[in-house]
Amino acid sequence: DIQMTQSPSTLSASVGDRVTITCRASQSFSSWLAWYQQKPGKAPNLLIYKASTLESGVPSRFSGSGSGTEFTLTISSLQPDDFATYYCQQYNSFPGTFGQGTKLEIK
């Protein structure tokens, strides 16, 4: 299985900040990577797929990039609703595997 490692595990930031979360894969692949947002007590919500394609309804302050073994999720200007945990998931090879998560906290 492809292992996915996210960094940092926790990120403290303020409203209006630009933040970047990184996801590194144990094997290289092109763009079959998704990002999810999860709030406490809720199911994950798909934000980005194919590394950089925004899911319908997701604010444009979210963006994704990368290929190979390194992928990033960027939030251009943090809003109060963005404080949550973020997971990457590769679906290049079966089964799709998740990163361990990045908790975005209010500074």
Partner 1 sequence: QVTLRESGPALVKPTQTLTLTCTFSGFSLSTSGMCVSWIRQPPGKALEWLALIDWDDDEYYSTSLKTRLTISKDTSKNQVVLTMTNMDPVDTATYYCARMVGYSSPFDYWGQGTLVTVSS
| Residues at the interface with partner 1 (CB under 8 A) | 1, 32, 34, 36, 42-46, 49, 55, 87, 89, 91-92, 94-101
Q: Which of 68, 77 has the CB closer to partner 1? A: 68
The separation between CA 85 and the C-alpha centre of its own chain, rounded to angstroms, equals: 9
What is the C-alpha to C-alpha distance for residues 66 and 48, in angstroms, rounded to an integer? Answer: 12
Closest CB 20 distance from partner 1, rounded Å: 20
The separation between CA 44 and the C-alpha centre of its own chain, rounded to angstroms, equals: 11
Exposed, middle or buried by CB within 10 Å (0-12, 13-18, 19+), for 79? exposed
Closest CB 95 distance from partner 1, rounded Å: 5
Closest CB 21 distance from partner 1, rounded Å: 14
Q: Which of 49, 75 has the CB closer to partner 1? A: 49
